[in-house]
């Protein structure tokens, strides 16, 4: 049985301590120490560390798992050859440069005969950096119609932020279970094993960050409240499975897939405590901040989660959403302004239609605007917004667009450049923009 919203616990703050016991085994958490000589119920203790042991206390992340068998109990890993092996990539330096604006019509959902689970349906669209030195990002799309039976997946390379667009994901993790539907997101952090079950065709997006973890953005002058509130993030509760039999563990390591076999279920954690957990978030809980006077604010006001770099104020990646909201700015061109940016912007659409591009940008599709590549509203949007009545108006009702924004210059994989659903006429959406210059007018 998969837990629903009420069965998850609030992740009341990033860095806070949490704990959970499967109710079938009360008092399974050791009292007073992490690693007793013998754990309750004769469990094994195992620490999962998400940061260096010596990281400062406020940023140190680790959890203790009390499990029936330790995760070390498997045969050696071997390279995994599957239908998407050539589409999972981390050596981005070898790819050709592509500075043009790019758009993709909806990526194809799997057909009944495809038989793809989450791992075999995962494909890298673009990325940058290096998984070996652990500094970079990978952006993926996934399409699957099979559940992961007797198998689990984990990434040794980084954290996965998963954004469903079509179909609900039933995710089992070592920490418990989560149901993640379109309009929600989840984060499975580095090293955490999980399996995805689905009911029919599913599709979505994923962002992986190497070498850091997602945190809530600093609010600064916004104050104590706003954007994504800590209390709205949920973590799973312990729910062990003691099945025995052959299970396949798939690892993403240095950008490549490997598999190993073990003779027991990997989700056999009876209890856990710590601050390094998977979690989910409902995007409708986001408290939007916006202008109530004039001008169009920078999209950073819509940041849900950020993965900071070592340079203050610069992110390896941000996860940004554009939710329904009121637009009330006076004397203002209200849609996004035309701009060139020192960040790369990959946008996806979960539902509805995006205000700056009503045509062509569809749920399940994407756009990519590289560093310093100009972009902005299409010609139709510009003409409409330039002459609109500026009464207060609702924006993006029935819509949820998002953006993976990165300070890295992203390289695009060959399959994504060559796929039939790439819109090679994307640039034409700006072709109708014409000069309105009149030197006599002030």
DSSP assignment of 124-169 equals: EEEEEEETTTTEEEEEEEEEE-S---SEEEEESSEEEEEEEEES-E
Active site residues: 296, 339, 345, 369, 375
- What is the separation of C-alpha 403 from the centre of its chain, rounded to a whole number of angstroms? 10
Cβ density class 201-229: b for 16+ within 10 Å, e for less:
bbbbbbbbbbbbbbebbeeeeeeeeebbe
Q: At residue 5, does pLDDT exceed 50?
A: no
Q: What's the alpha-carbon Rg for the chain, to the nearest Å?
A: 23
Share of the chain above pLDDT 70, in %: 95
Give the Cα separation of 396 and 274 in Å (integer).
38
pLDDT score for 2: 42
**Pairing relation of β-strands 151-155 and 244-253?**
parallel
Tens digits of residue pLDDT in 55-77: 998 889 999 999 999 999 999 99
Share of the chain above pLDDT 90, in %: 82
Q: How many Cβ atoms are within 10 Å of 307's Cβ, its own excluded?
A: 23
Contacts of 256 (CB under 8 A, 6+ apart): 79, 88, 90
pLDDT score for 113: 86
Q: What is the pTM of this model?
A: 0.94
Q: Residues 200, 170: contact at Cβ < 8 Å?
A: no
pLDDT confidence tier of residue 6, bands split at 50, 70 and 90 = very low
Q: Residues 251, 55: contact at Cβ < 8 Å?
A: no
pLDDT score for 15: 56
Give the Cα separation of 377 and 335 in Å (integer).
7
Give the Cα separation of 236 and 9 in Å (integer).
6
Contacts of 390 (CB under 8 A, 6+ apart): 329, 330, 331, 332, 334
Average pLDDT over residues 99-109: 95
| Unique residue bearing structure tokens 């498997």 | 74
pLDDT score for 296: 87
- What is the separation of C-alpha 420 from the centre of its chain, rounded to a whole number of angstroms? 25
pLDDT score for 253: 94
Give the Cα separation of 44 and 67 in Å (integer).
5
Q: Residues 242, 265: contact at Cβ < 8 Å?
A: yes
Query: Averaging pLDDT over each range in 89-103, 108-122, 143-157, which range is the top one?
Result: 143-157
pLDDT score for 358: 66
Domains parsed from the chain with CATH numbers: 5-48+58-103+112-283 (2.60.120.10), 288-422 (2.60.120.10)
Tens digits of residue pLDDT in 174-200: 999 999 999 999 999 999 999 999 999
Cα separation values, 405 from 341, 357, 369, 382, Å: 10, 18, 10, 24
Give the Cα separation of 215 and 284 in Å (integer).
19
Q: How many Cβ atoms are within 10 Å of 386's Cβ, its own excluded?
A: 12
Q: Please, what is the Cα angle at 331 between 388 and 375, to 5 degrees?
A: 70
Q: At residue 7, does pLDDT exceed 50?
A: no
Give the Cα separation of 144 and 151 in Å (integer).
15
Tens digits of residue pLDDT in 120-158: 999 999 999 999 999 999 999 999 999 999 999 999 999
pLDDT confidence tier of residue 3, bands split at 50, 70 and 90 = very low
Contacts of 437 (CB under 8 A, 6+ apart): none
Tens digits of residue pLDDT in 375-400: 999 888 999 999 999 999 999 999 99
Mean pLDDT taken over the chain? 92
Cα dihedral 113, 116, 117, 121 sign: negative
Contacts of 84 (CB under 8 A, 6+ apart): 120, 121, 122, 123
pLDDT confidence tier of residue 10, bands split at 50, 70 and 90 = very low
Q: At residue 356, does pLDDT exceed 70?
A: no
Comparing CA positions, the residue from 163, 207, 161 lying closest to residue 182 is: 163
Tens digits of residue pLDDT in 25-51: 999 999 989 999 999 999 999 999 999
Give the Cα separation of 262 and 264 in Å (integer).
6
| Span of 12-21, 40-49, 88-97, 340-349 with lowest mean pLDDT | 12-21
Tens digits of residue pLDDT in 398-423: 999 999 999 999 999 999 999 999 99
**DSSP secondary structure code for residue 417 in this structure:** H
pLDDT score for 121: 94
pLDDT score for 88: 84
């Amino acid at each position: 049985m998969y837990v629903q919203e009420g069965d998850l616990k609030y992740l009341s703050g990033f860095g806070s301590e949490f704990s959970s016991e499967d109710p079938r085994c009360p008092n399974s958490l050791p009292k007073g120490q992490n690693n007793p000589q013998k754990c309750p119920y004769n469990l094994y203790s195992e620490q999962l560390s998400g940061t260096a042991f010596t990281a400062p206390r406020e940023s140190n992340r680790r959890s203790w798992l009390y499990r029936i068998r330790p995760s070390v109990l498997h045969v050696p890993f071997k390279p995994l050859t599957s239908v998407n092996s050539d589409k999972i990539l981390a050596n981005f330096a070898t790819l050709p440069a592509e500075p043009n604006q790019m758009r993709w019509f909806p990526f194809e959902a799997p057909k009944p005969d495809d038989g793809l689970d989450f791992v075999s349906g995962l494909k890298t669209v673009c990325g940058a950096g290096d998984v070996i030195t652990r500094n970079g990002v990978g952006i993926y799309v996934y399409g699957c119609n099979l559940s992961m039976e007797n198998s689990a997946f984990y990434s040794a390379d980084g954290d996965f932020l998963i954004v469903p667009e079509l179909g609900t994901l039933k995710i089992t993790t070592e920490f418990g279970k989560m149901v993640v539907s379109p309009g929600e997101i989840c984060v499975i952090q580095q090293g955490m094993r999980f399996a995805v079950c689905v009911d029919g065709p599913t599709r979505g997006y994923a962002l992986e960050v190497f070498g850091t973890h997602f945190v809530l953005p600093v609010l600064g002058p916004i104050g104590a409240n706003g954007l994504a509130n800590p209390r709205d993030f949920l973590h799973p509760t312990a729910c062990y499975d003691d099945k025995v039999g052959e299970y396949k563990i798939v690892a993403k390591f240095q950008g490549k897939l490997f598999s190993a076999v073990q003779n027991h279920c990997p989700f056999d954690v009876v209890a856990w405590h710590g601050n390094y957990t998977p979690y989910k978030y409902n995007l409708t809980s986001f408290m939007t901040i916006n202008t109530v006077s004039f001008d169009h604010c920078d999209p950073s006001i819509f940041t849900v989660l950020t993965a900071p770099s070592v340079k203050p104020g610069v992110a390896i990646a941000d996860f940004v959403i554009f939710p329904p909201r009121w637009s009330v700015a006076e004397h203002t061109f209200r849609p996004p302004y035309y701009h060139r940016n020192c960040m790369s912007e990959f946008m996806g659409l979960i539902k509805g239609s995006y205000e700056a591009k009503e045509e062509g940008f569809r749920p399940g599709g994407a756009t990519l605007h590289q560093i310093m590549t100009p972009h902005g509203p299409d010609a139709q949007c510009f003409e409409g917004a330039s002459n609109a009545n500026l009464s207060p108006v609702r924006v993006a009702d029935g819509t949820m667009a998002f953006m993976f924004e990165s300070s890295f210059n992203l390289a695009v994989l060959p399959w994504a450049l060559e796929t039939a659903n790439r819109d090679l006429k994307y640039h034409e959406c700006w072709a109708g923009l014409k000069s309105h210059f009149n030197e006599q007018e002030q």
